[in-house]
Chain A
Amino acid sequence: MRARVYVTLKPGVHDPAGTAVQGGLVSMGYEEVRSVRIGKFFEVEVDDDLSAQHAGGPRARLEEMCRKLLANTVIESFRVELL
């Protein structure tokens, strides 16, 4: 099974790189761009048989992976999509 994980900065966390990209877009003529926030996107492939051995199902496992490693929950939120 495949999953998609989106990790994004929480509101209020400064994103200097996103601000730089926004400034770049505006200077290219895309003056309508008010803000850019850069996040991370993970494509994860999960072995179905191994996954079935864990209670709670693949979503619970993936969310645990997010809390432990893929996101730093001090500053980031995450969203898991099972495909």
Chain B
Amino acid sequence: MTARVAVITFPGSNCDADLRHAVGLFGMQAVAVWHKDSTLPAVDAVLLPGGFSYGDYLRCGAIARFSPVMVDVVRFAGRGGPVLGVCNGFQILTECGLVPGVLLRNSGLTFQCRDVNLRVEGKPTPFTGGLVGATLRLPIAHAEGNWFADAETLARVEGEGQVIFRYLGNPNGSVHDIAGVSNSAGNVVGLMPHPERYVEADVGGTDGAGVFRSLSASCFGALPLKAPGATA
């Protein structure tokens, strides 16, 4: 059976088609879901795309968080379902409280649109199961990617292996060079760089492919989805 992966489209999303394309490249079936849908269809994972949901009004991701389908997305995450937020999707996840911290304006105040190098680390997640220790080169495109949390939260995130992606060369002033974090269970991950944009050698690179391969493998049970400490 083919793994089914929901990609939510909000008004102002602009990376949803790229995510669906990447999902399809790695043998999974992308399911387009409109943000106003009242229920999430039966899926194995949920992806929140980049873009400018609701024009970034008030705060990035603040209003998308209240889209009808997000009730089911939060429920799905609570049951341990894999959820990935990329860029604006990451901002939405922080506004929901599904992952810790917030994303502030870049310290240099400018929109950063370029490639960055990242290290994959932390606890295994459905999106990085086979990648821990790897260095990836991925594109970023954001003005609010400066991850921040208070000292207590930062210590907990670092101590519990919830830093999943770390910049090698910080583009935005994020604390501890953090590019992506997970929730404490590890099933929800948000990151600012765009793995879906680097899945084909003809278009930039292939360093994003591992994220989708990991997801595909975890959907088929080849990688652990359980929280660390859970008995097998």
Contacts and interface: CB of A to CB of B under 8 A. Distances in A.
Interface of A: 12-17, 20, 69-70, 72, 74-75
Contacts of A16: 104-109, 146, 173
Nearest to B95: A72
Interface string B54-94: 00001100110010000000000000000000000000001
Contacts, number: 37
B150 A74 contact: yes
Given A72-B62, A74-B101, A13 B148 contact: yes
Interface of B is mostly: loop
Interface of A is mostly: loop
B148 A75 contact: yes
Contacts of B63: 69
A14 B59 contact: no
B149 interface: yes
6 contacts: A13-B148, A15-B105, A16-B105, A16-B106, A17-B105, A69-B66
B102 interface: yes
